[in-house]
Amino acid sequence: MSQPGSLVGEQEMAVKDPRWKKIYADPLTQIIILGLICFLLPGMFNAINGLGAVGKADATITDNANTALAVTFAVCSILAGGLFNLVGHRVLLLLGGLTYILYIGSYLSYNAVFVISSGAILGIGAGFLWTAQGAIVMSYPEEKNKGLYISVFWSIFNCGAIIGSIVSLAIEWHNEVSHVSNRTYIAFMVIMGLGSVLTLLLLPPTQIQRADGSRVAKVNAVRVSTEAMAILKLFQDWRMLCLIPMFFSSNWFYTYQFNAVNGGGMFTTRTRGMNGTLYWVAQVVGSFLMGRLLDYKHAERWKRAICGLGVLLVATMVIWGGGYAFQKTFSRASVKSLTESDKIDLANSRRYAGPVVLYTLYGMFDAIWQTYCYWIMGALSNQTDAAARMSGFYKAIQNAGAACAGQVDAKKVAYEGQLLINWILLILGTLFAIPVAVSLQNSLKAAVPEEAATVKDLDSEGTGGDPAQIVVDKA
């Protein structure tokens, strides 16, 4: 319970705080640090997978490992939404980071059990890491800056994949065989170790203060049963149910893009590295553009949401239409007969021009889709606890889709069939999100004061409030 005059005392202390402490406790600074952590962990993971790397194991074993990853990722993401509110984000991020190192280490092994087990363990850690990440980027910024801050995070995160791809490209430039060397895997493991250590630099949410003077909400003494009930209520919220197709399709296309397009056998190893680099560069551009559109201050929030969906639908039709045209030029069977000299190489500009533009646009598409997903969830709540649960819900549905996509590829479904599945899912994702976009309020209530503590109810009205938000009273 706050004592009389405590607010004045806090304000006086704030005045006396050194400038660097204020900067360090600013939401943007914390999101930049979070971006650097993901730069060194999932960013590097994306870079190595973007090469079509499968390690020493058979590609089918890697598909099964990725499926195990996606399944445990989906399950643990739901649980991580509650764990975030019970143990804090630093614990989740640190544990999650260590599992990335283990998984890349499995690429050095021929043992199928170890590779698949590592995938399952990474799924647990990735669920922890990405749920914590989502809660932070959705709830720390002011409402007017959510698109910007999401794009700042996404840009820094993908710079990890850009640099990782460049490192891989440099190592593999003179590699005349179509597999990634051990040196590449070891280099990535060392870099990821640094990312795990950086998680310790993040401040607790209670110490974060926004530029408008509001603090990130704090809920004390949350019980496991309370968290479980709040998570279950997400499955009763019509808005979250409408977003399921968008979430489900949001990682489905990775399997097709990485394994079929870039890793399917059409490109030389160094060309795959170049493709990966451009894919992640395009993510930075795409995220920034979508973030700016969604923060446009001269339009109401629901109009920005509809405009964003329009951009997604047009991009889906144009980019995936181009992808279909390229996919008609090769198949699983046709690439098996290609020699290294038959494959597309970056030195052959005439053959390479079209495919590289397509793959770059695939990267931009990924960024605008993911940015929109985070933004629309952030538009539903300013509360960190609610954001954590929504983030866990999002990652769970997303990785349920990824698990299905991995098995579709493992079953050797034709590449053209995989593309068509992706295309249909993405169209459905945009259409089902329309009711949510139209329902958005122009502004939400300010964040709950720091001294808020006791649990009162769970979005008892059922409409118009934050999904799974814990409503609190001042103690």
For residue 173, give the CATH number of its domain: 1.20.1250.20
- Flag whether pLDDT at 237 surpasses 60: yes
pLDDT tens string 116-156 = 899 999 999 999 999 999 999 999 998 889 999 999 999 99
pLDDT at 178: 52
* Integer Cα distance of 279 and 145 in angstroms: 26
pLDDT at 414: 94
pLDDT tens string 91-106 = 999 999 999 999 988 8
> What is the arithmetic mean of pLDDT over 393-414?
91
Q: Give the predicted TM-score (pTM) of the model.
A: 0.83
Does 6 fall in a domain? Answer: no
**How many domains does the chain fold into?**
1
Does 393 fall in a domain? Answer: yes
pLDDT at 29: 94
Does 474 fall in a domain? Answer: no
Does 257 fall in a domain? Answer: yes
Does 468 fall in a domain? Answer: no
Which are the contacts of 19, defined by CB distance < 8 A and separation ≥ 6?
none
- Flag whether pLDDT at 307 surpasses 60: yes
- Flag whether pLDDT at 318 surpasses 90: yes
Does 14 fall in a domain? Answer: no
pLDDT band, residue 472 (cuts 50/70/90): very low
Q: Which two tokens stand for residue 317?
A: 């039709």
CB 363 within 8 A of CB 213: no
* Integer Cα distance of 405 and 389 in angstroms: 24
- Flag whether pLDDT at 220 surpasses 60: no
Does 12 fall in a domain? Answer: no
Domain limits at 124? 20-447
Listed in order, strand segments (DSSP E) in 68-183 are: none
pLDDT at 454: 34
Does 42 fall in a domain? Answer: yes
pLDDT tens string 184-203 = 788 889 999 999 999 999 99
Of 119, 397, 57, whose CA–CA distance to 240 is shortest? 397
pLDDT at 407: 86
Beta-ladder partners of 474: 452
* Integer Cα distance of 97 and 92 in angstroms: 9
Cβ burial, residue 399 (10 Å; 0-12/13-18/19+): buried
SS3 468: coil
